[in-house]
Each structure stands twice: as structure tokens, then as C-alpha cells.
Amino acid sequence: MDPEPDDLLEIDRGSWEGESWLIRPRDLTLTLQRCNQHREESR
């Protein structure tokens, strides 16, 4: 049984060592916040 298109979002970010992440839409904001925080700390 395939999940609905909006059940999982695949994110491929080079800043995350090229890893692909499967996340729920409700986790998207938190995940992006963590990514942005990591990018700020890397400067």
C-alpha cells in the first residue's frame, strides 16, 4: 500500500551530506529550522 503523496516528503540536501530524508509534512517546518540553524552554525 503506497502512502499518499503528502504523507512523506523526500528532501535531498547537499548540506546534509547528500542524505535523502523522509519526513512528515507536520515535521517540515521543524526540519527546515534545524537545517537553517545548522547552516548558521557552520559559518
* Residue 18 reports pLDDT greater than 50: no
Q: Any idea where the domains of the chain sit in the sequence?
A: 5-42
pTM: predicted TM-score of the whole model, two decimal places: 0.33
Smallest Cα–Cα separation from 13: which of 2, 5, 23, 3? Answer: 23
pLDDT > 90 in the chain, percent: 0
Q: How confident is residue 15, by pLDDT bands cut at 50, 70 and 90?
A: very low
DSSP codes, 4-37: PTTT-EEEE-GGGTT-EEEE-HHHHHHHHHHHHH
Comparing 40 with 13, which gets the higher pLDDT? Answer: 40
